[in-house]
Amino acid sequence: MARTIVHLDADAFFASVEQAADTRLRGKPMAVGGESRGIIASASYEARKFGIYTPMPTARARKLCPRLIVLPGDYERYEQFSNWMFGYAYDFTPDVEQTSIDEGYFDLTSNHKKPALEIALTIRKAIGQSLKISVSEGIASNKLISQIASKLHKPAAFQNVPGGQEKQFLHSLPNKWLPGIGPKTAVRLNAAGLADIGQIAATPVDLLSLLLGGQAPVLRQFANGIDERPLIPAREPQKTFSQQETFNEDVTDEEYVEAVLRRMADRLFATVREEGRSVRTLTVKVRYNDRDENQRAESLREPTDLETDVYGRLRGLLGEAWQRRVSLRMVSLKLSNVYDGVFRSELPLETAAKNHEARERLAVVLDELRRNKGWSVVLRGHDLRLRDAPRDLAHEHAQPRLRISVNRGTPRVTPARATTYVPLRVRSYYTFLDSTLSPAAIADCAKQHGIPAVALTDIGNLHGAVEFAQAAKRAGIKPIFGTELRVNDNPLLLYVESARGYHNLNRLLSQKAEMGGRASPRAQTFLKRREDQRRRSSSRFCFGCRAR
């Protein structure tokens, strides 16, 4: 039974999607690609009338068409349109093979409800009406003929090659239409008098091998319209690549965690390259010691398949995700927005593009070495860092550096050997990036060192007050609640004396938050007055509210 294969090919896909999304671009010469030092990735048919093609340097394209509109690529939108486009084919058959973001095959052999031509025409019209983009279709008995038929008379081509007419369709075409014949091979064949496909079909294989080598038998079959390649329905593409690591002990060493993320990137991107994919979005997730989680994501300007392109972004993502300065139980890295192949909008002659190509070649070599010799055959700097255990930063911060004793209401710095002191300026992990200690850990530390009382003074908040009070009660020490604000770029320590003072301080901080981090005018007046009093008395203040 003869097969019925349809090749679906979108016309100027990236540019057409942009025109479909923005009606102001329709009918105008426009392109998708790099703006200044880049190349044209897709040109509308209005732009092609000026001689603009892919991949042409953008600067040259602008000389050919000064009115050319150049837009950067919107990969998420292209992926969405691609899914919608092939979704119409899935409405009629499950046998769909997507070979790239904008073209593929579908098999209508088993669909007997309607003629294949009618189904192909229905899909073509539906895509045009709903997505506002044009597509070309070729219908034939195999993949080769259907693909050539769809591309021969673009745009908006619709050509059927009935079974038995494959040779008649092919033999008058130039040899460049056969798969595997590029410009250099075409010149060699032309010089040998084999300019047309029909001439290649009539040439014995042994003579053809002198020109084409080992691919001669397959190309001669193609030249005679024979293509036995099966249509391979695509499996559901992998939408993400991810890896996570749960630490044996809770970790506070940010440098160590970043090294773990880089090692994850190494392994994940090796898989991305193996599958011929590229990714555009990175997500870092952390899990704290209390099992609470937080994450941050960032999308690249263009998809990439190189871990070296994302190393510099991992530190920033980790810092943004690690909002609470609490020790971590787990960290994970996820790569999403996955694309087939890699798109570059830079000219190969540019330094950045040359460096990128060099790193791509290096990545291929590293992948091969690690497959054959094991992962540890080549180590990067972060791999060496992971040979050492993470530093215990919480323990380091827990060591008291200063002891402040209270005599007659005036704080005084005393040597570390003093036995009577009350720390009045201690911060928890609720002060971002300034401490890794929980309020409970502060209370336990005070108990361990025999301190009768300790003040928790996080910057601009009282988030740890409840946890601190409960922990201090268990430890048998007196909790002092306070906060630190800045007035005229000077620190001002405010302490709570009573329940009323706690209420007043919370209200003050709430007003400050409502003002976008700035104190309200009333609060500013109050704080300025307190600051003036502090300067005169060289003392601290308690909300009760009175100065002392």
- Using a CB cutoff of 8 Å and minimum separation of 24, what contacts does 424-428 make? 424/455, 424/457, 424/480, 424/482, 424/493, 424/495, 424/540, 425/455, 425/457, 425/484, 425/493, 426/454, 426/455, 426/456, 426/457, 427/456, 427/457, 427/458, 427/459, 427/484, 428/456, 428/458, 428/464, 428/468
Burial pattern 456-491, b for ≥16 Cβ within 10 A else e, equals: bbbebbbbbbebbeebbeebebebbbbbbbeeeeee
Q: Which residues are catalytic?
A: 103
Q: Cα 377 vs. chain centroid, distance in angstroms?
A: 28
Tokens 């091979």 correspond to: 185
Within 13 Å and on the Cβ side, how many CA atoms surround 505? 30
CA distance 360 to 349: 15
CA distance 421 to 364: 62
Amino acid (one-letter) located at 2: A
CA distance 221 to 287: 59
**Torsion angle of C-alpha atoms 116, 119, 121, 126, degrees rounded to 10:** -160
* 468 neighbors 428 (Cβ within 8 angstroms): yes
**Number of other CB atoms surrounding residue 278 within 10 Å:** 24
CA distance 435 to 398: 9
Determine the length of the chain. Answer: 548
CA distance 393 to 327: 9
* 437 neighbors 397 (Cβ within 8 angstroms): yes
Tokens 């709570």 correspond to: 496
Beta-bridged to residue 288, according to DSSP, are: 328
Beta-strand (E) ranges in 118-198? 135-140, 158-160
Strands in 490-496's sheet, in edge-to-edge order, are: 453-459, 478-487, 490-496, 541-543, 546-547
CA distances (Å), origin 413, targets 126, 404, 405, 406, 527: 80, 5, 7, 9, 26
CA distance 478 to 422: 10
**Number of other CB atoms surrounding residue 1 within 10 Å:** 5
